[in-house]
Amino acid sequence: MYFDPIWFLFAIPGILLGIWAQVKLSHAYGKYSQIGVDSGMTGAEAAREILDRAGLVNVPVEEIPGHLSDHYDPTKRALFLSSENFRGNSIAAVGVAAHESGHALQHQAAYAPLSFRTAIAPITQFASTAWMFIFFAGFIFHSFGHMFITIAIVVFSIMTVFQLVTLPVEYDASRRAKEQLFRLGLVHEHERAGVSKVLDAAALTYVAALVTAVMDLLYFLDRARR
Ligand SMILES: [Zn+2]
């Protein structure tokens, strides 16, 4: 009861896909962070160019620590790039920087999936934090009863919705990134495949997160039925 082997059956697809996505990403990023772009631009310069050309001169591009910690913060209306992508002038650095700029372009265009994702982010954050405590309490009190399963279904439903809406947000940001990179001539035609490989591999990690959330939800729905 405390350790349900059936859970593993549900967890396996997400775990395998997650590992595959991470391997693909580290391979693609590892390769294309070693190949410089013809334009010689750094990630920070490419992001600045894309933002300025879109009239987003007030959106700052800042450097942050961490590996692949790059993100756009809609609440601060600011773009944050990890040091290697901020300073780097590789295909990977420029590709990632353009992707994050793509999120700023979505924000400017009031792209509905991004607005929805931003709106439900605090609820998702609360649910995932609360879930850790609930799961821990379940272990301490040896209680994984009806109430526990009901809460789990609510938590993983929220996670699933969040991960589901994350997919169009991420794929659309990469689509916008590539469009701007080639339109503005920041990346040349023969560099296109490299940019795509890095961004597609990054997107796959979000697919893995969705599969994990869905399988956890299915597991608890199955438990409720049993
Ligand atoms: Zn993104």
- 10-residue block means of pLDDT along the chain (226 residues)? 78 95 96 96 98 98 95 96 97 97 98 97 94 83 81 95 97 97 94 95 96 95 88
Helices 91-108, 5-32: axis angle to 10 degrees equals: 110
Q: How many CB atoms lie within 10 A of CB 96?
A: 31
Active site residues: 100
Query: How many C-beta atoms lie closer than 10 Å to residue 24's C-beta?
Result: 17
Coil, helix or strand for 36? strand
- Residue 202 CA to ligand 1 center (angstroms) comes to 8
Closest CA to 52 of 94, 108, 90: 108
Q: Quote the pLDDT of residue 140.
A: 77
pLDDT reported for residue 3: 66
Separation of 71 CA from ligand 1 center, angstroms? 6
pTM of the model: 0.91
**Ligand 1 centre distance from Cα of residue 96 (Å):** 8
Ligand 1 centroid to Cα of residue 39, in Å, is 23
Find the 65 Cα to ligand 1 centroid distance in Å: 17
pLDDT given at position 2: 58
